[in-house]
Structure 1
């Protein structure tokens, strides 16, 4: 997935808009199930992984993850093999 950039006039600095991933997208990119992802972010779970990116709570019921953080976590796992 591509990062999105906001086009600004030449006199304004270019702002980067972080890409956000749904739980479905996180599962797709990591190969993990929805329940495993939620267990990995739950500090009370036996499967808790403090290295897994923190979720972003958009509303009371909607959570997302920052795409660059998920990509970094995946690359760390690849590098550790």
Structure 2
């Protein structure tokens, strides 16, 4: 059975990637880092699997051409 994809918050993402907050948001705007998901009115997070893929190869990671927010997993 497959594990569900966890949602991780900003502090965890910053800790795991070693990026600063401003660099992270600049990379999101450039399409070279996974975009955050809106999880509540004032909260956002990232799919852990997307962050893991970025960590494995940050230079080659590119945002998908279409939105994957509606995917069923």
* TM-score (normalizing by structure 1): 0.61
In structure 2, runs of 5+ residues without a counterpart are 61-73
Aligned residue in 1 for 2:9: 22
Is residue 2:26 matched to residue 1:39?
A: yes
* TM-score (normalizing by structure 2): 0.67
SS of 1:18's equivalent? coil
1:30 Cα deviation from its structure 2 partner:
0.4
Q: Aligned-residue CA RMSD in angstroms?
A: 2.3
Which entry has the higher C-alpha Rg, 1 or 2? 1
The count of residues paired between Structure 1 and Structure 2 equals 61
Deviation beyond 6 Å, 4+ runs, structure 1: none
Q: Which has the higher contact order (CA 8 A, sep 6+)?
A: 2
